[in-house]
Amino acid sequence: MLAPKRVQWRKVMKSDLRGHAQTGNDVSYGDFGLMAIECGYLTSRQIEAARISMTRKVKRGAKVWIRIFPQKPVTKKPAETRMGKGKGPPDHWVAVVQPGTMLYEIQSDDADFTRQALEQAAYKLPIKCKVVARGEIA
């Protein structure tokens, strides 16, 4: 699963999810992309699950790019622990997603099959997404 090799700070604060993506919001590498419509956090497990479903659908007949990376640690305290005594240890990693962020890109010869693969990947994610083509204004 995706996780940073090393980070400057082990624990970070929660971020503000408001606003639209200013960068990483267009199809740069492939022919089609999966764009987020709403904001949220995507865990490394969710990113990997969507990637696996997409690559299995195209049967390795397409080139796939993952445009997001989980670089924010989320902490969690153990179950049945009393209040206080500081913040818990890092539990998992998430990627902060804003509306307009391009999540995945794919390049293949068959356009219909490519769209189906991206729609199947979107089904695995907890946020609303849409499939956009290169040059299409979202």
pLDDT, residue 41, reads 97
pLDDT block averages, 10 residues each, the chain of length 138: 92 92 93 96 97 92 94 95 94 96 94 94 96 83
Residue among 106, 97, 117 at smallest CA distance from 33: 106
Bridge partners, 36 (sequence order): 129
pLDDT, residue 28, reads 92
**Residues 61, 40: Cα–Cα separation, whole Å:** 30
| Residue pair 25/89 in contact by the 8 Å Cβ criterion | no
Extended beta strands in the chain, E state: 32-36, 40-43, 63-66, 72-75, 90-97, 102-107, 129-133
**Residues 80, 94: Cα–Cα separation, whole Å:** 24
Domains located in the chain, CATH noted: 32-74+90-133 (3.90.1170.10)
pLDDT, residue 138, reads 61
pLDDT, residue 115, reads 94
pLDDT, residue 16, reads 87
Of the CA atoms within 13 Å of residue 99, those in its CB half-sphere come to 7
